[in-house]
Structure formats: structure tokens, C-alpha cells
Amino acid sequence: MVKTKCWATLLPATLLLLAACSNGNTNEPSGSASNAASPSGTASASANDGGSSASGLAPAKLTIVLYGDESDRMKELTKSKFQDIVKQEINAELEFQFLPWSEYGGGKTDLMLSTGEDFAAYTDSNYMAKSVAKGLYADLTPYMDGAAAADMKKTVDDNSFKAFQLSGKQYAVPVGNKPNSAEFYSVLVRQDLLEEVGMSSVSSLAELEQFYEKVHAAHPELIGYAGTDARRMLMYEYTDKNLYWLNDFLAIDESAQDDKIISWFETDEFKAYAGIMREWYEKGIVPKYAATNQPQLTSDWNSGKAMFWAGTAARPFEGAAAISQAVPTAKLVNYFLNRDLPKISRGTYSTAWFVSANAADPERYVMFFNLLQKNQELYDLFAYGIEGEDYTLDANGRMTRTATDELIPDWLMMNKNFMRFDTSVPDDFIATYKAWDDDAIISKAAGFTFDNSPVKNEETKINGVFSEFLTPVSSGFVDFDKNYPKAMEKLKAAGFDKYMAEYQKQFSEWYASQSHSQ
């Protein structure tokens, strides 16, 4: 196999959570046509044309749901500076409500939607499709081409907006603009351990396993891979296809100019992949406890007790702060194994905001989303706090965080037009990070959303089969030959063929409507 070039992203152990800045916009401004009539009666009065006046806007109240824990500093700023700015810009009273991550995509979020509460939160494309089918999300299309969304249209990629459209209507507003291609297709290596055992890089499965063996001999207390799913990271080893997974069951070949949906578990590639994972489990590269305690893997990675993880453009700095607390000398590098195929991108968004169907003023929510990605000053405020109190900037715009409390989560806000890096980050890292997507291609499935309503019962059943029977096989916890036939029997009995046919039907219809099929 041809050795691939690696995107080595070496960070100092003192790296704080990111933040780098770029003044270049990736898109030209959208047209400034007037909005349709809105609940606030202010189609063009949203003060998002460079000014900060909320003149003409009636008072409104916005409830923004975030997931995770609310920091003390977040509470302080919500009651003070955040409130003042939102009042000044869009004449709205702002309330943040925090829910546990277990309530995302269901749970209390679903309850709030079904009972008609007025709020906004973030979503993914699958949750969006299910919620729109139930009439739970507001249609935000009327507010996309006017002043309400004008600023974020300049700083958020157009493909990201398309990813959250159904039947041409915008049901969620993307947030973030960051390198997203090849998510989990690279291996994120503890470079300090690699160098300690006399190696400089890894570019193949054989070298990755050699890295494990050498480090295991020196540090038997460390685990190898801090995960149980390596199908993307190892793809270049077991197939010539450029596979991109639509979900746990289905994939497409990005190197093929067709609309064929691939049943992942019925491929020769899956058998080859499962064989590698079985070897990893037997060798201890994937620890034995992973079969019953997967959360421990993430904990071990964050505490510096693992050798490698599946990587992304951002993971070297997203996880560096936690690891360096435990291991100050830790350094992280992203590598791709073997084949140099084009990196696939789903879009540059972090997530997307929806507005509940019963919201009194959906347009005002869109105005708030716009504030988050409007300009450097507002981005800094919501992401980092108040300059001089929460952070300082040097002459080059590099940041030193003086407060550690999280505000609106960094991962959610990341926009390469405004993000800032810590003062310790080398210039070459910033250049590499910004260039990560330069040779990427957008997935041919980008923008497609599956409507599961015709096969909802089947989907529920096959998800159960996946958890109980297929995950142990794919993760290498059990022998393939002994367990695979039964797992596939269960999958078929759950209605997988019907599910597959419906997915193919919808995707083919959507694919035929896209310009690339002409």
C-alpha cells in the first residue's frame, strides 16, 4: 500500500482549549431581501447590519437549552453582561437552562417539545428529521435570507445550512465553522510515548501495533486504544473503497459515482475489520474491561492512561488540557494509516440550533443565533467572557485564559473566523489546523436526511440487535465465526431488509434531485 502523508499536529502540553482567529470569510454575503412578516413585526429591524440598536423590536424572552453543567461564571455573566448585550442588540431577555446530556435527543427535551414549551436547543440531522415529522420544530426558512441571519451567513458555510434542511425548508440553524473532514479516520497518538520508545511516526497498522508493543513493555499499566469502534481509523487497511458511514449499519463509497447504499455488516470489509478488532482484544490493545465498561476508556484517555485514540482535526487541543494535567509532558499527533484517499467532510458545522414549534417569536431566536457568530467582539464575549477578567490578549491576538469556567461550550462555538489560540501554540500548528480541510471533499450524502417514519418499528428492533449482538462482534469481544451468523439472523428477523430498501429508496430519490446527478 502507498504510505499516506500524515497531518501531524504536535501540541505543547501547556495548551489550553483552542481558539484561533482568522478574518477571512468563507462565503460571500447572502442576499438582503426583506423577510416575510414575522411575529415581532420587524422584518428588517434586527440591528444586524453592523449597528447595535434594537430600535423597533418589541420585548421578547428567549430560553436557550444547553447540555452539561452550568459553571458559576456562566451564571454570573448570564445575569449581567450577556443579558445587557442581548437586550441592547435584539431587545430580548435571555435565560439559559442546562440539562444533563442524557436528556439530549429525547428525554426531557422531547417532553418540553411535546408540551409546547418555548425554547431553543441544539440538534443533529437525525433528531431533526424525527422531530419535524412530529411537528415539533419551527420552520425557520422565512428568516434565513434577511437581516436576522445576515451575519452568520457570512461566517458559516453554506453547505452547513443545507445539512439542516428538509424539503427545502430550514428547520435548524448551523453553528460553528471548523475543519470537520475525516472525523475519526486518523489515529491520535501520544507522541511523547512514541518518541520515548524510539519511533517518530506511525503510518500503517503494523507500525501502530509495534508502537503498542513497545510502550506496553515499558509501561504495562497503560492501555492501548481508548475506544471500541475503529472502523474509520482502520479503513485504509481493509478496503480500497473510501467508505463514509451514514449510521451504524449503512455506508456509501465516496469514490464511486453512484447512489448505492452499502449494508456494512454484509460486506467482506466488515469481516476483515472484525478480525483486526478481535486480534486487538486478544492482544490487550483494547482492554478486556471495554466489553462491560466503555466509559472507563474515555476516563483513561483523559487521565493519560491510554496510548492512542481516534482523531479529528480538533482533538489534539480539545483533549490536551485534561491530559496535560495528569501528564505535563504529553504531546499529541494525528496520523492517517496507509492509504491517501480524499478526506470526506459532512460540512464545517459543530451542531445546529432548532426552535420549538410553539415559540412565540422564532425570528428573535434566529437573531440570537446570529449574534453568536456576528463579529469578533460578540464571539469573544460568549465564548471566553470579558477581556481583562476572564482572559487577556497579546499584540497578535493570542489568548491567555485567566478563568477556567466554561461559558457557552467551546466545541459548540468554534468558528475559524473568530477562534483564538493560546499564546503557547506554535504558528505551524495554526496553519496546519486551518489547512486541514483544504484537500477534503464534501460527502455525496451531505444534506440528506432519512425519514424513518415508514420503518420506525424496524429501526427500533435493529438498533436493539446492534447493541446486543453486532457490537460484540464488531468490537472483537467475541469470535466472529461463532457469533456472526446468529447476529445476522437476528438482524434480518428485525426487518433490516425492509429498512435497507426504504433507506435506499429515499436516498436514490434525493440523490437524483441533486446537481451532481445531472
Percent of the chain with pLDDT over 70: 88
C-alpha cell belonging to residue 48: 444586524
- 7 within some domain: no
- 85 within some domain: yes
Confidence of residue 515 (pLDDT cuts 50, 70, 90): low
Amino acid 321: pLDDT: 64
Amino acid 55: pLDDT: 62
Dist. CA 476–CA 156, nearest whole Å: 40
Amino acid 432: pLDDT: 80
Which residues contact residue 19 at a Cβ distance below 8 angstroms, ignoring those fewer than 6 apart? 383, 384, 399, 410, 419, 420, 421, 422
- 308 within some domain: yes
The Cα-based distances of 374 to 5, 287, 366, 482 in angstroms read 36, 46, 12, 57
Annotate 200-224 with DSSP letters as a single string.
Answer: ----SHHHHHHHHHHHHHH-TTSEE
Q: Residue 240: which domain range?
A: 186-345
pLDDT score of 26 more than 60:
no
Strand partners, 188: 309, 334
C-alpha cell belonging to residue 287: 482492554
Same domain? For 59 and 93 the reply is: yes
C-alpha cell belonging to residue 135: 411537528
Same domain? For 122 and 206 the reply is: no
pLDDT score of 36 more than 80:
no
Do 401 and 392 contact (CB within 8 A), yes or no? no
Which residues contact residue 487 at a Cβ distance below 8 angstroms, ignoring those fewer than 6 apart? 265, 465, 469, 470, 473
Q: Is 165 helix (H, G, I), strand (E, B) or coil?
A: strand
Amino acid 9: pLDDT: 36
- 427 within some domain: no
Q: Is 126 helix (H, G, I), strand (E, B) or coil?
A: helix
The Cα-based distances of 107 to 102, 110, 114 in angstroms read 7, 6, 11
For the chain, state the CA radius of gyration. Answer: 24
Mean pLDDT on 362-371 = 97
Give the dihedral of Cα atoms 507, 509, 514, 518; nearest 10 deg: 120
Residue 493: alpha-carbon gap to chain centroid: 33
The Cα-based distances of 450 to 250, 266, 374, 461, 463 in angstroms read 12, 21, 31, 17, 15
pLDDT score of 22 more than 60:
no
Strand partners, 311: 186
Confidence of residue 15 (pLDDT cuts 50, 70, 90): very low
Amino acid 16: pLDDT: 35
The better pLDDT of the pair 312, 225 is held by 225
Round the average pLDDT of the chain to a whole number and report it: 86
pLDDT score of 27 more than 60:
no
389: left (phi over 0), alpha (psi -120 to 50) or beta: alpha
The C-alpha angle 105, 109, 111, rounded to 5 degrees, equals 125
Q: Is 332 helix (H, G, I), strand (E, B) or coil?
A: strand
Amino acid 319: pLDDT: 62
Dist. CA 117–CA 138, nearest whole Å: 12
Please state the pTM of the whole predicted model. 0.75
The Cα-based distances of 373 to 220, 408, 433 in angstroms read 46, 12, 20
Confidence of residue 163 (pLDDT cuts 50, 70, 90): confident
DSSP tag of 23? -
- 397 within some domain: no
Same domain? For 42 and 147 the reply is: yes
- 391 within some domain: no
Same domain? For 140 and 47 the reply is: yes
C-alpha cell belonging to residue 243: 467508505
Annotate 122-167 with DSSP letters as a single string.
Answer: EE-HHHHHHHHHTT-B---GGGSSSGGGHHHHHHS-HHHHHTTEET
Confidence of residue 10 (pLDDT cuts 50, 70, 90): very low
Same domain? For 69 and 210 the reply is: no
Percent of the chain with pLDDT over 90: 65
- Can you give the CATH number for the domain in which 83 is found? 3.40.190.10
Edge-to-edge strands, sheet with 332-335: 223-225, 306-311, 186-190, 332-335
Q: Between β-strands 186-190 and 306-311, what pairing exists: parallel, antiparallel or unpaired? A: antiparallel
pLDDT score of 13 more than 80:
no
Mean pLDDT on 425-448 = 85
Amino acid 433: pLDDT: 85
The C-alpha angle 129, 134, 140, rounded to 5 degrees, equals 65
Same domain? For 168 and 197 the reply is: no
- If one counts the domains in the chain, the total is 3
Same domain? For 145 and 274 the reply is: no
- 207 within some domain: yes
Last residue of a domain, one of 363, 384, 405: 384
Mean pLDDT on 357-376 = 96
Do 343 and 439 contact (CB within 8 A), yes or no? yes
Report pLDDT digits (tens) over 236-266: 999 999 999 999 999 999 999 999 999 999 9
Same domain? For 191 and 338 the reply is: yes
Same domain? For 302 and 338 the reply is: yes
- 501 within some domain: yes
Confidence of residue 138 (pLDDT cuts 50, 70, 90): very high
Annotate 439-454 with DSSP letters as a single string.
Answer: T-EE-TTTT-----GG
Amino acid 344: pLDDT: 93
